[in-house]
Amino acid sequence: MAKEVVVESLMKSGSFWFPEGANSITNSVDGLFYFILIGSIILFVGICSTMAYFLYKYRRTEANPVATSHITHSTTLELLWTIIPLILCVIIFWWGYKDFLSMGTPPGSALEIRVIGKKWLWQFEYPKEGVKTLGELVVPVNRPIRLVMGSEDVLHSFFLPNFRIKRDVLPNRYTRLWFQAERMGNFQIFCTEYCGDGHSAMLATLRVVSEAEYQEWLHGGSGDSDEPLPELGKKLYTKNACNTCHSIDGSPSVGPTWKGMYGHKVSLDGGASVDVDDAYIKESIENPKAKIVKGFQPVMPTYAGVLREREMLAIIEYMKSL
Ligand SMILES: [Cu+2]
C-alpha cells in the first residue's frame, strides 16, 4: 500500500550518478561533483600506475644490486607536488563556497511556503492565501521558492533529489531551503531521516506548473469538485497519507483498519464504546485525541483545517464503501 513514487523523476532520465536536475543550481553542484570525482580518478590511477612502474623498474637485480641512488632533495619536485594540489584545493573550496552561499541566500522576491513535517506526512501552507495541502507541493516554474520548515514531532529531513537540496526539519526551530525550478513536471520529495514506522511512506510530490496554472490552482480550490464522492475519497486516502496508518483490507497497521468500520460499534480506551457514524468519523479526523480506540496509541495527527468539507464527506463515503 505504498504511496505513489514519481519514478520517472528519479529513474527515467539523468545520468548514472544523478537523476535529472531541475534546479537553477544543479549544473554547478553536479559540475563540482564531477570535478572532484574525475580529478580523484585521474590522481588515483596516475599515482598507482607510477608506483607500480617504479617498483618494477627500480627493483633489485643481480645486474643492479643497489636499487637506486640515494636522492635526498629535489626542489622542483617539492614545488610541483605542493603547488598543484594547492591550486586544486583552492578551486574546490572556491567553487563549493560560492554554491554554498548562493544555496543559503534566497532572492528577496522569493515566494514563501511553509513546510510542516509530522509522522508521517508533509503538509504545505501558502501563508498569504491560507491554502493548505498534504503530500503535494505546487509551485510556479522559474520563480524562486523559499521553504520555511518545522516539525510537529520528531526529526525529519526534506529531500528533493532532482533539485540537489536536502535539509533537516526539526521540532524546535525553523530551517530553510530555497530553489528555483527550471522546468515543469512532477518530482519526488522524500523524508531522509528515519522517523518511525511510516518513515518510508513519508513521501510527497513537487508539482512544477506554469505561472497561469499555479494562479488557477491557488485560487480555484482542489479542482476535484465534480468527482463522485467515493472516488475522491479513495484518492484522498493516499494523498493525505491515511494509508500509512490505516489499511482498507483488514490487515493490522498503526491505526484501525477501515474495512467494515462504518456502522459498527468500536470500543474506546477506558471502556466506553461508540457507534462509527459520520459525526464520530469527523471528530476522529479533526480531533483524533478526543476518543482513542482501544488498543491503539494516540498518534494520529489532526487534519482540522486541512480537509475541505467536501473532502471530509468524500472520505466518509469511501469508508462506507469498504
Ligand atoms: Cu520523517
Residues, CB within 5 angstroms of ligand 1 (ion): 156, 191, 195, 202
Tell me what pLDDT residue 2 has.
40
Residue range(s) occupied by CATH 1.10.760.10 in the chain: 229-320
Ligand 1 centroid – CA 85 distance (Å):
41
- Residue pair 193/156 in contact (Cβ under 8 Å)? The answer is yes
Q: What is the pLDDT of residue 276?
A: 92
Cα of 193 vs centre of ligand 1, distance in Å, is 6
Higher-pLDDT residue of 69, 227 = 227
- Sole residue written with cell 534546479: 23
What is the CA(153)–ligand 1 centre distance, in A?
9
Which pLDDT tens digit goes with each residue over 232-257?
A: 899 889 888 888 889 999 988 889 99
Mean of the per-residue pLDDT values of the chain: 89
Select the CATH number that applies to the domain covering 111-219 from these four: 1.50.10.20, 2.60.40.420, 1.10.15.40, 3.40.50.720: 2.60.40.420
Report the helix count and the strand count for the chain, using DSSP H and E.
7, 12
Per-residue pLDDT reduced to its tens digit, 124-177:
999 888 888 888 899 999 999 999 999 999 999 999 999 999 999 999 999 999
Pairing of strands 156-160, 185-191: antiparallel
pLDDT, residue 221, reads 57
- Ligand 1 centroid–CA 278 distance in Å is 31
Residue ranges of alpha helices (H) inside 71-173 are 75-104
Rounded to whole angstroms, what are the CA distances from 50 to 68, 166, 196?
A: 16, 40, 50
Q: Is residue 224's pLDDT more than 60?
A: no
Span from the CA of 92 to the centroid of ligand 1 (angstroms): 32
What is the C-alpha end-to-end distance of the chain, expressed in Å?
16
Distance (angstroms) between ligand 1 centre and the Cα of 30 equals 26
Q: What is the DSSP letter of 301?
A: P
Please say whether the beta carbons of 198 and 217 come within 8 A: no
Using CA atoms, how far apart are residues 258 and 260, in angstroms rounded to an integer?
6
Q: Alpha-carbon distance 57 to 6, whole Å?
A: 56
Neighbours of 309 (CB within 10 A): 8
Where in the chain does DSSP place strands (E)? 111-118, 121-126, 131-134, 136-140, 144-151, 156-160, 165-169, 175-180, 185-191, 203-209, 265-267, 273-275
Q: Give the distance (Å) from ligand 1 centre to CA of residue 128.
A: 26
Using the mean position of ligand 1's atoms as its centre, give its distance from the Cα of residue 34 in Å: 30
The Cα-based distances of 138 to 154, 185, 191, 227 in angstroms read: 25, 10, 18, 21
Amino acid at the residue 173: R
Which CATH architecture is the domain 229-320 placed in? Orthogonal Bundle (1.10)
Residue ranges, comma separated, of all CATH 2.60.40.420 domains in the chain are 111-219
CA of 115 to the centre of ligand 1 (A): 12
From the CA of 203, how far away is ligand 1's center (Å)? 9
How many whole angstroms from 254 Cα to the centroid of ligand 1?
A: 15
- The b/e string for 275-299 (b: 16+ C-beta within 10 A; e otherwise) is ebeeeebbebbeebeebbbeeeeeb
Q: Starting at the edge strand that comes first in sequence, how are the strands of the sheet with 144-151 ordered?
A: 131-134, 121-126, 111-118, 144-151, 175-180
- The residues, any chain, with a CB within 8 Å of residue 30's CB and separated by 6 or more, are 17, 18, 21, 164
Q: At 287, which amino acid appears?
A: N
pTM of this prediction exceeds 0.85: no
Model confidence at 66: pLDDT above 80: no
The 3-class SS string of 228-245 reads: CHHHHHHHHHHHCCHHHC
Cα distance between residue 310 and residue 154, in whole Å: 31
The answer for residues whose C-beta is within 8 angstroms of residue 269's C-beta and 6 or more apart is 291, 292, 293, 294, 296
Q: What CA–CA distance (Å, rounded) separates 77 from 111? A: 54
Cα of 309 vs centre of ligand 1, distance in Å, is 28
Q: Please tell me the distance from the alpha carbon of residue 73 to that of residue 66, in angstroms, as a whole number.
A: 19
Say whether pLDDT at 73 is over 90: no
